[in-house]
A and B are shown apart, each in its own frame.
Chain A
């Protein structure tokens, strides 16, 4: 089913009288947008303030003087380089694993006719309902017993075994692609592997890029799993480093919130950059969710 991704191309509004309800909506939207952006603005303002200015009551809305050295000092204060590298390795490997495995599983469930595929589909989807907390303690024991505790493996390997939501997303998208494509490819002698990698991969780009964005965020932002599985500080991810930084370093009196916010800004950047690079596919990739009521 084809969905048009028409994101508000301006209707022919010329010569029509001003629609006051639209003006009202627009004003409301602007106010909400300002409220939403304010905390982010606050990160930047704080990151640039001097040590004394962060304690002013009421706080200054703009910094009096710009202290760009806060970025370097914050960077050093939490060993940012090392944590960044750790997080990046874990994230990239998880993203690749999550996307590849889910696209393959989704392909099988949508486009290969084999007995049991419906049952497996429902089992995978059903497993989305199981809260991760149920698995946390048994898995902790499992990882402990196979010596994966205090390694990155518990954070990477599970991604390679498919993500239920991604499987669902992939399957829904595959279902919208005409089956003539596979049929003609099969007549030309192509197998499932060829169809998957040569024909489906380019067509499904919006959906796997959407997955990549989500997987990147999920992994980069993950806090609970690193907290439970990583012990040694040199293996920490940025999420653990930043959380610890905020409660120890920044928890005491004379908190250097300016350094903290500078580091925080650096921590936020990679998911932001990745999102903006891949953003145009995002709404399209989630478009298949609009077909949710279809089987």
Chain B
């Protein structure tokens, strides 16, 4: 990264030369022996599926008989005729746009709170992290019960504070928000990573800023945020990738409803490919949708990387 003075050709020539001199046959053997499982994993779980699904997307395939090549008909149907494709894109994008910033903000807030040298911090850290340890199926079914309009806890709490009750998962306007709230309950994972980042910020940096007269707010925006921006960036990317693939919520709580409000793309793919009872599996069409999801993920990741220079602080560029 910092070799700006030398051209890349020279660099590679140099490193090649160095390697030629220093290649140690035993290191070469052990190195590749040790990473061999990873190489196999990469080939079988990334490269092969990638290549094969490119073909499957152009076929009609029920999973039993052989795939039948049909060109771009899957995509044609998807963009022009499928009544649930666009609603499911809308639900997925809305979910990402609403849940990721909320999770990052709450996670960072909690991490900053836990980093304040308050009493009982270990207990709080454990309590806040607890929900993320629990199985998704356990927490989702728990929330399904909490959200029951008649005898659930959620409406009981609302009426306790004299607030209007809600239809939660069964309301077209409220289902998505209800799912986002469940996601926020699991903010502990984000929090713990931010906390690790905050604790790695050298104390001297804060001291220096304080001596220069920075107050708490400025410390946060001008020291904390830049110092943890690499972690923030990584969290942003992984959470967007994760949110784009939301699945269990729809499968367990809403079956994509009401009126496609929570018909996340990933759930739609599952329903098309592996079929809920009664429907006919079409793995070819499902794979075509997988590619749309894949391109969405790549686009979001690439855009985030593209704009990261503006706000991600890079230690190596400083010197």
How far is B301's CA from A112's CA once the two chains are assembled, in angstroms? 31
How far is B116's CA from A22's CA once the two chains are assembled, in angstroms? 8
Check A286–B193 contact: CB distance below 8 A: yes
- The yes or no answer to B222 lying at the interface (CB within 8 A) is no
Query: A54, A191, A286: which contacts B30 (Cβ < 8 A)?
Result: A191
Min CB–CB distance B281 → chain A (angstroms): 10
How far is B138's CA from A261's CA once the two chains are assembled, in angstroms? 9
**Please, what's the 1-or-0 string for B279-319, where 1 marks a CB less than 8 Å from any CB in chain A?**
00001001100110110011001000000000001111000
Check A129–B301 contact: CB distance below 8 A: yes
**Please, what's the 1-or-0 string for B15-53, where 1 marks a CB less than 8 Å from any CB in chain A?**
000010011101110111011011111101110111011
Q: How many residues on chain B are close to A (CB under 8 Å)?
A: 106
Which one of B77-85, B170-178, B205-213, B240-248 is at the interface?
B240-248
| Shortest beta-carbon contacts, A-B, top 5 | A290-B200, A161-B41, A114-B31, A108-B34, A138-B49
Main secondary structure of the interface of A (DSSP, over half): helix
Check B56–A137 contact: CB distance below 8 A: yes
Query: B34, B45, B50, B197: which contacts A289 (Cβ < 8 A)?
Result: B197
Instruction: Name B79-134 residues within 8 Å CB distance of A.
Output: 110, 113-119, 121-122, 124-128, 130-131, 133-134
Q: How many residues on chain A are close to B (CB under 8 Å)?
A: 104
How far is B283's CA from A286's CA once the two chains are assembled, in angstroms? 39
Residue of chain B at shortest CB distance from A132: B245
Query: B40, B42, B133, B216: which contacts A127 (Cβ < 8 A)?
Result: B42
How far is B136's CA from A182's CA once the two chains are assembled, in angstroms? 42
- The yes or no answer to B183 lying at the interface (CB within 8 A) is no
> Hey, which chain A residues are within 8 Å of B297, CB to CB?
129, 131
> Hey, which chain B residues are within 8 Å of A286, CB to CB?
192-193, 196
Query: A29, A42, A193, A291: which contacts B142 (Cβ < 8 A)?
Result: A42
Check B196–A283 contact: CB distance below 8 A: yes
Query: A25, A55, A123, A124: which contacts B118 (Cβ < 8 A)?
Result: A25
Check A290–B196 contact: CB distance below 8 A: yes
- The yes or no answer to A10 lying at the interface (CB within 8 A) is yes
Min CB–CB distance B215 → chain A (angstroms): 11
Residue of chain B at shortest CB distance from A1: B200
Known: A137-B287, A243-B252. A129 touches B118 (CB 8 A): no
How far is B266's CA from A273's CA once the two chains are assembled, in angstroms? 32
How far is B276's CA from A228's CA once the two chains are assembled, in angstroms? 11
Min CB–CB distance B181 → chain A (angstroms): 10
- The yes or no answer to B11 lying at the interface (CB within 8 A) is no
Residue of chain A at shortest CB distance from B294: A134
> Hey, which chain A residues are within 8 Å of B128, CB to CB?
32-33, 36
Query: A10, A22, A261, A287: which contacts B196 (Cβ < 8 A)?
Result: A287
How far is B316's CA from A294's CA once the two chains are assembled, in angstroms? 8
- The yes or no answer to B236 lying at the interface (CB within 8 A) is no
Residue of chain B at shortest CB distance from A28: B113
Check A138–B30 contact: CB distance below 8 A: no
- The yes or no answer to B151 lying at the interface (CB within 8 A) is yes
Show the binding face of A for B, using Cβ within 8 Å. 3-11, 21-22, 25-26, 28-29, 32-33, 36-40, 42-43, 46, 54-59, 101, 104-105, 107-109, 112-115, 117, 120, 123-124, 127, 129-142, 144, 158, 160-162, 167, 191-193, 217, 220-221, 223-224, 227-228, 238-239, 242-243, 246-247, 250, 257, 260-261, 264, 267-268, 271-272, 275, 279, 282-283, 286-287, 289-295
Check A267–B138 contact: CB distance below 8 A: yes
> Hey, which chain A residues are within 8 Å of B156, CB to CB?
57-59
Check B113–A29 contact: CB distance below 8 A: yes
**Please, what's the 1-or-0 string for B177-200, where 1 marks a CB less than 8 Å from any CB in chain A?**
000000001001000110111011
Check B138–A268 contact: CB distance below 8 A: yes
Check A162–B151 contact: CB distance below 8 A: no
Task: Output the residue of B188, B197, B199, B290 with the most chain A CB within 10 A.
Answer: B199
How far is B32's CA from A108's CA once the two chains are assembled, in angstroms? 8
10 additional A-B pairs beyond A124-B42, A158-B41, A292-B234, beta carbons within 8 Å, are: A7-B121, A42-B142, A43-B142, A46-B145, A105-B34, A105-B35, A133-B269, A260-B145, A286-B193, A287-B196
- The yes or no answer to B159 lying at the interface (CB within 8 A) is yes
Check B196–A57 contact: CB distance below 8 A: no
> Hey, which chain A residues are within 8 Å of B110, CB to CB?
32
Task: Output the residue of A107, A112, A123, A267 with the most chain B CB within 10 A.
Answer: A112
How far is B241's CA from A134's CA once the two chains are assembled, in angstroms? 13
Min CB–CB distance A69 → chain B (angstroms): 20
How far is B135's CA from A217's CA once the two chains are assembled, in angstroms? 7
Known: A38-B153, A221-B135. A109 touches B248 (CB 8 A): no
- The yes or no answer to B273 lying at the interface (CB within 8 A) is yes
> Hey, which chain A residues are within 8 Å of B125, CB to CB?
7
> Hey, which chain B residues are within 8 Å of A291, CB to CB?
200
Min CB–CB distance B224 → chain A (angstroms): 13
How far is B142's CA from A36's CA once the two chains are assembled, in angstroms? 13
> Hey, which chain B residues are within 8 Å of A29, CB to CB?
113-114, 118, 124
